[in-house]
Structure 1
Amino acid sequence: LITASCLEHVIHLVQRLQEKLGEKQIHKFSLFKVLRTHILPLTNVAFNKSGSRFITGSYDRTCKLWDTASGEELHSLEGHGNVVYAIAFNNPYGDKIATGSFDKTCKLWSTETGKCFYTFRGHTAEIVCLSFNPQSTLLATGSMDTTAKLWDVEKGEEVATLNGHSAEIIALSFNTTGDRIITGSFDHTVAVWDVGTGRLLHTLIGHRGEISSAQFNWDCSLIVTGSMDKTCMLWDAVTGTHVATLAAHSKEVLDVCFDYTGQRIATASADAVFYVDLCIHILGIFQENPFLIRKGSQSFLT
């Protein structure tokens, strides 16, 4: 499965991984750098795949590109007429940056030159979330106008408008194969869409509050959603059926994510507790298996 041209590189990476796994040292963390150049508060930050560069979005209407090691400002991406609220690299490539703004537009930039390739127009309200597909051929934007849009990265054209929510879209995420995208809304639902056709496949109904976050697991079999109703829910990504409700938090769940194995889910909440360990027994049908949630020394079965 590994071609001759990349065999040496793969062997080198595996050897580095083996060395890393053999280390027994306890990691110590310390402050690396403090960079103060935006004149107004920041809205978001993001690394490229290697971590060599990162970007910052701000209320000052700019996005800045930085060299991680030196702290040098490489480019200031200027042109938006309002807050730059959502930013992203097109990882793993890292040669493009997308910025979404309260000015209702999204811009696509060159990482190397800072030049703006395209300005995507079409939303009628603020853009609050965006994401590249894994192939870096499409860019998705979510807006307070209740729609999400898919844009062609090379042509700079709109590909599809995803209509179906009755309130603001504040979260979206592609799966790892890039053929599905999910959108989370203030209408308390998450929608699963076919990327190729723009067709609505499933509407995940069950939360009693606004959706705050939604994500696929690595093998695209599960979806996790967080909500202002203080719960996190797990869904079958293929059928759209509800699998489990994780109800350990006492306040709103603000963010959720899977680990890369799909065995654990982390949740961040306004109750100041930012982790919940989830052991998933993925053997057979999900609904027929118990889910053990550990929080401190307590255990809950859902």
Structure 2
Amino acid sequence: MRLISNALFAGLMVISICAYSAPDWFSSTEVDPKWVTGVGVGEDLESAQQQALKNLSLSLYSEVSSYTEQTVVTEGNKGKVHSQAVTKVENKHVPLSIVHWLKQAYVDELYYVRGGVIIAEWVIIQETKLEGQITEIESITSLSEWSLGDYRRSKAIALKDNQAIAAMISPYSMTSSRYSAAFANLAKKQNQFANAVCFTVEQSHDKVADKYFLPVIKNALYYSHLTVSERAECRKVQFVARNDRVSDKHIQTTLLISGDGELPYQVDVKGSGSSYKSALVSVANNLSDYFVEQGGILPKQL
């Protein structure tokens, strides 16, 4: 494995200011194919170590594995992986449990440290993370037919996208290609479900609720990237609504929404206006904002 460890750009200014009093090892370049290192300086040991961790993260992301972040897009019913070169800094990807503090000095009331990570240990941790998500992805993509709840679960899994990490460890691990293939298959299955399965919103038989809230719930299906149709074979979404006047100008609306065999979930929305009608319009607008915020008809959590 070819690894290069240098003093990083983020610390160059601090290093140059302190170079006259810093220990020799602080500004020197150390090359070891097994290690990635970072240096830090601070008025106390903790701040010096924090800066070293940041520089260590930069090294992993920019020097060690100048990597390509992959994103999955869908074309038709197929998932494709596209690549784009990026640089990120995320200390969370450097667990403290594998950081070795290699050097430390206290000179002229400043702490100087060098921290390092054995790249093989770091790769193992990332592989474990990817393996867990591969298992989670395959548990949903292996199902022959999805329900609305399965689609919702697939969307939650997709939010845990670790393709940047997969790309970084690709020179050292076969797990990377397995992860990318699993993620592309997940995108394909999501696209197939969204295009092949249609939904319709049933009337609640409450004229007021159907007038003000049914169109909003239908739009929420669109926000979820689902197909909406009035065909008889479409899966049904049901709702009931109760409007409680809490004052002359305020309404509290409680909706129960369910569909495709899912348990109903409750949404509480408030509205206000100079009249009952305008308060209902306010509730409908706030309900629309609620669906936009959570990304559609599917609640973020069950």
Higher share in helix? 2
Q: Fold match, TM over 0.5? A: no
* Higher alpha-carbon Rg: 2
TM-score interval (norm. to shorter): under 0.3
TM-score, with normalisation over the residues of structure 2? 0.21
